[in-house]
Structure 1
């Protein structure tokens, strides 16, 4: 009998569904719409892939990045699921062949970009071929409250409405606040959808924020901690990508790069080098990564703070997809806030969005998300708790697995310093100035910067009145006052200016005390265990032998090694040491197709190793 459980074992080699998967599949098979919010690595794609094999017609998967469809389809072919994609990267002959295949019922899943839905050829195709399900991946792109709004996602509803019979409609995303979740359901016209939420907490990920004087030195430190492992370094700008990548290459690190300024051929080649482990370090802008299924990413470094927590969670979540411990480290400086403010202003000129009021609205929403991201980056309380609360989840006070929880703090009364900061903002406003966060800090510490002197800000009565704090410490205290709503930021020309609030008056009048946590010492140096920790030291040799065999198959077939078997599957083989095909199929991630294709060779390799190491077997 073709049950979801049987297909899960057959195609993906797992005996049990992960949290939320079965709930989504059952709803789809009952003809219900579904809205699933599941973190990266939770197996969203399995929900519509298994369902597609049990539904009678075609499943259309709407995906935003055409460059990744090929990888996704190749992975499905590896497990025996007939799938195809239609996008601008294929030749006219391939396009025609795929169209014929879809019409002949050759494929069960068809990937398409939202821009293709309302084209003449696609509308003609879907008028002829019964469509059982439309699955919208990265569904947050439909919402103006989301971090990645795309006008083309608004074509999904008109496309569905013109189909001869309305199919089941499903929306999947890894990141959605309550506002975005509401938008997705409304804007995609989901009909009484079954809501599937598995929670945002990925316990295998360590979250850390560091504020180094020299970011590159800190990057080298993290790479040393993760020697030989695969990781991603995200930068906010193309220039930063180039600078970081060049610096790493000069030091001998196997690094490559990815950003929109490179020609498509180089971007594809660099992405392939990373996926195939020819280059283990990818330095990239946020143009890289959406839909990347590379399972052995052990660390993600954000060289600069991203614009919002949605983006950070999504990008950081590309680490540890195999369930092994992984690091997510943000390197923060106050300059990152100014860089993101500039990028937000530039994004306001987005040519795809013609309506001026909409662009202004998107800018305001972006500024609020940036404010929340800054609070995370400067927090002294549990980072995981702050992130989970942002997405509307309850969380314990501490997690024990973030940089704040692993640091000892002491409480320090800074009410006097807070009054001085608020007074500086007040004096500046009275004198007709619009003071930014960094400008205020410079005034208070008595900076001799040319800009401060030229604007005669040294003549303010608050100039130099904070003597025992650095510029960075003052700026951090300003951030805390903004978070406490004792100050506020509002857009002014090309930057955000500090303004007073009702909380400002409460501090000045002595009605509100201000204290902050000062780090004393970290409880321990954060160093995640090796991704091979679950394999005993005696079995390391077998693990390496299986990796080498996997590499041979990957090279012969021209696919990334993780598509053959993930590291997690190889580690399970090392633990179970299967001797028969039946035992091999009990290994996590080994389905029927893969066992038939590779099983004999892997069983032979395991038996040979056991013969050579009888005492370890």
Structure 2
């Protein structure tokens, strides 16, 4: 079979996506490759198609059991012989998998990097021809990446120990230039064909919200999503526990995931989410690497992550099947302090690095956090900001992010700036320094007892901005700090102080303007057009049938067909196997297995739809 026949026959796609064909051609030609492709861009096809065609077995090194299980289930469903070797197997399953592997029955075997030095993998490597080694989430090999795993450093030694060097293919969704160099060097790639396909995910709507009450905003967002499934990321285990408990108390179907839970509970909770028994996963960043669940409609970050690489990868778990999805960041200034604390702590906890290396990583982590904060406070196109961070040029207007849809307007805040700086000056005259919250309270005329006890209610600036919202005062105050007109320290108790530029506003009366958000408008409806242009009644019937078939096979529903495939059925309305094969994601095996029952349902729906009431 040629590559297009394999693509259609096993995976149900008529053509390759951007970059896939070039990577596949180089692999089939015997070259090492490095593919940097965004989540949902089809990285797995780049090594699965050659694995079917090459003479021998492909070993896929993957960091998480959940990723292996998903990939193997999908491959078997498509007619490709595959297996995984990990701790989730029973003794009987393990014995059978090993026996079949030693007989060379599998095209692909998935393993964790920790197992590379085990006797069973050595037996396979010495008994079966290994045609290719694929390293997924390849950025984990780099200490400068966001998910460094020391076990990835053993991969190159394992490759050297093989009787014959196979083709090496490595893939990741995020990698800066430094991380790319590390991947090539540390994995021992031989003059690899390197391809960066672009980081844009047009189906994702990016938004940043700065709510007064994060939990109330989270509830509002979840209510809007109705019965759709999604992920809520939190910064700490404590946050996960608290938010999950609140959501369940408020009637939401939620479960939790973090490193503090037992392996058994993590596996159960993850399965509950993947098999649609729970629609919301509340988790730390310990959850999600490689999760293939294709119908995630939203990813909400309750707290800002430490860097854009992590945010991009976590947000990218939404809309993997190409359907419209939303990536929402709930930003609060406290997120910056919390992340700074965690960065400092990770420096002390990292015992594998020298002091000089720790200092270098600390500085890089702080810079990454600054970039992430710039994203969260940006008034320009969020997509352009993110793509620019990864070195990709993009238009200044995308039409599918909160900044572009809701927009910002340039506002003269000269008078407000004078009032804010005057307030800081009056507090200083009292011989005191305080943080942003106290400055805002004074300007608002708060009846805070502590404020009164300090006689701050006697200041001339007390209450001079009582008609301005606290949210706007805070935004203007942070803008003045950002531009150097005021200063705020980065320690545990940051205070607001005057700078040399403060006098320019008070004495020289220079004008100050900043971008402030316009009144929020409804999200652009065009992003949902692919959902609204289908027969929703038929779509729900197809979903129900898919759920029944998945339950019978004991696999997640999206392994049978993705939501995108169901929507394609609603558009094509196939009533025979020939037409059913035209549906995106339907290959020969799936057509034979499911075509008849789905076509019958569509015929029945069309028939009932044509009968006059």
Name the TM-score, length of structure 1 as normaliser. Answer: 0.87
Residues 547/310 of structure 1: CA separation in 2 closer, same or farther (3 Å cut): same
Instruction: Report the alpha carbon displacement of residue 161 of structure 1 after superposing the two structures with TM.
Output: 2.1
d(CA) in 1 for partners of 2:434 and 2:164? Answer: 59
Does structure 2 conserve the Cα–Cα contact (< 8 Å) formed by 1:348 and 1:363?
yes
d(CA) in 1 for partners of 2:433 and 2:161? Answer: 53
Does structure 2 conserve the Cα–Cα contact (< 8 Å) formed by 1:437 and 1:478?
yes
Aligned pairs, how many?
A: 612
SS at match of 1:319: coil
Name which of 514, 517, 524 aligns with 2:515.
Answer: 517
Are residue 198 (structure 1) and residue 197 (structure 2) matched?
yes
Please give the per-residue CA displacement for 1:572-599, whole angstroms capped at 9, x wherever unaligned. 2222222221221111111111111112
Please give the per-residue CA displacement for 1:480-528, whole angstroms capped at 9, x wherever unaligned. 5676688899875x68899999999999998997531122323445668
Instruction: Tell me what 1:277 maps to.
Output: 276
SS at match of 1:405: helix
Instruction: Tell me what 1:134 maps to.
Output: 133
Instruction: Tell me what 1:376 maps to.
Output: 375
d(CA) in 2 for partners of 1:141 and 1:34? Answer: 17
Structure 2: stretches of 5+ with no match in the other structure:
none
Does structure 2 conserve the Cα–Cα contact (< 8 Å) formed by 1:375 and 1:480?
no
- Which structure 2 residues correspond to residues 398-417 of structure 1 after superposition, within 5 A? 398-413=397-412
Structure 1: stretches of 5+ with no match in the other structure:
none
Residues 470/608 of structure 1: CA separation in 2 closer, same or farther (3 Å cut): closer
SS at match of 1:231: strand
Instruction: Tell me what 1:585 maps to.
Output: 581
Does structure 1 conserve the Cα–Cα contact (< 8 Å) formed by 2:412 and 2:514?
yes
d(CA) in 2 for partners of 1:158 and 1:271? Answer: 33
Residues 420/87 of structure 1: CA separation in 2 closer, same or farther (3 Å cut): farther
Instruction: Tell me what 2:329 maps to.
Output: 330
SS at match of 2:327: strand
d(CA) in 2 for partners of 1:180 and 1:99? Answer: 35
Are residue 566 (structure 1) and residue 565 (structure 2) matched?
no
Instruction: Tell me what 2:178 maps to.
Output: 179
Instruction: Report the alpha carbon displacement of residue 41 of structure 1 after superposing the two structures with TM.
Output: 0.8
Residues 528/276 of structure 1: CA separation in 2 closer, same or farther (3 Å cut): farther
Residues 489/135 of structure 1: CA separation in 2 closer, same or farther (3 Å cut): farther
Please give the per-residue CA displacement for 1:93-124, whole angstroms capped at 9, x wherever unaligned. 43343233222111111111122223344234
- Which structure 2 residues correspond to residues 16-55 of structure 1 after superposition, within 5 A? 16-55=15-54
Residues 432/502 of structure 1: CA separation in 2 closer, same or farther (3 Å cut): same
- Which structure 2 residues correspond to residues 432-471 of structure 1 after superposition, within 5 A? none
Residues 467/253 of structure 1: CA separation in 2 closer, same or farther (3 Å cut): closer
Does structure 2 conserve the Cα–Cα contact (< 8 Å) formed by 1:33 and 1:193?
yes
Instruction: Report the alpha carbon displacement of residue 549 of structure 1 after superposing the two structures with TM.
Output: 1.5
Please, what is the CA RMSD of the aligned residues?
3.8
d(CA) in 1 for partners of 2:584 and 2:67? Answer: 25
SS at match of 2:171: strand
Residues 347/513 of structure 1: CA separation in 2 closer, same or farther (3 Å cut): farther
Instruction: Report the alpha carbon displacement of residue 251 of structure 1 after superposing the two structures with TM.
Output: 2.1
Please give the per-residue CA displacement for 1:209-237, whole angstroms capped at 9, x wherever unaligned. 11111112212221222112111111111
Per mean C-alpha deviation after superposition, the further-off stretch among 339-348 and 550-559 is 339-348
Are residue 73 (structure 1) and residue 69 (structure 2) matched?
no
d(CA) in 2 for partners of 1:398 and 1:173? Answer: 27
Per mean C-alpha deviation after superposition, the further-off stretch among 3-12 and 27-36 is 27-36
Does structure 1 conserve the Cα–Cα contact (< 8 Å) formed by 2:420 and 2:443?
yes
Name which of 535, 549, 556 aligns with 2:552.
Answer: 556
Residues 352/421 of structure 1: CA separation in 2 closer, same or farther (3 Å cut): farther
Are residue 251 (structure 1) and residue 250 (structure 2) matched?
yes
Does structure 1 conserve the Cα–Cα contact (< 8 Å) formed by 2:400 and 2:527?
no
Does structure 1 conserve the Cα–Cα contact (< 8 Å) formed by 2:203 and 2:527?
no
Per mean C-alpha deviation after superposition, the further-off stretch among 416-425 and 331-340 is 416-425
Does structure 1 conserve the Cα–Cα contact (< 8 Å) formed by 2:36 and 2:172?
yes
Per mean C-alpha deviation after superposition, the further-off stretch among 98-107 and 390-399 is 98-107
Does structure 2 conserve the Cα–Cα contact (< 8 Å) formed by 1:409 and 1:519?
yes
Instruction: Report the alpha carbon displacement of residue 85 of structure 1 after superposing the two structures with TM.
Output: 1.4
Instruction: Tell me what 2:600 maps to.
Output: 604
d(CA) in 2 for partners of 1:450 and 1:520? Answer: 34
SS at match of 1:207: strand
SS at match of 2:191: coil
Instruction: Report the alpha carbon displacement of residue 8 of structure 1 after superposing the two structures with TM.
Output: 0.6
d(CA) in 1 for partners of 2:63 and 2:4? Answer: 29
SS at match of 1:315: helix
Per mean C-alpha deviation after superposition, the further-off stretch among 511-520 and 154-163 is 511-520
Does structure 2 conserve the Cα–Cα contact (< 8 Å) formed by 1:151 and 1:352?
no
d(CA) in 1 for partners of 2:53 and 2:114? Answer: 28
Does structure 2 conserve the Cα–Cα contact (< 8 Å) formed by 1:445 and 1:471?
yes
d(CA) in 2 for partners of 1:11 and 1:553? Answer: 19
SS at match of 2:402: coil
Name the TM-score, length of structure 2 as normaliser. Answer: 0.88
Instruction: Report the alpha carbon displacement of residue 88 of structure 1 after superposing the two structures with TM.
Output: 2.5
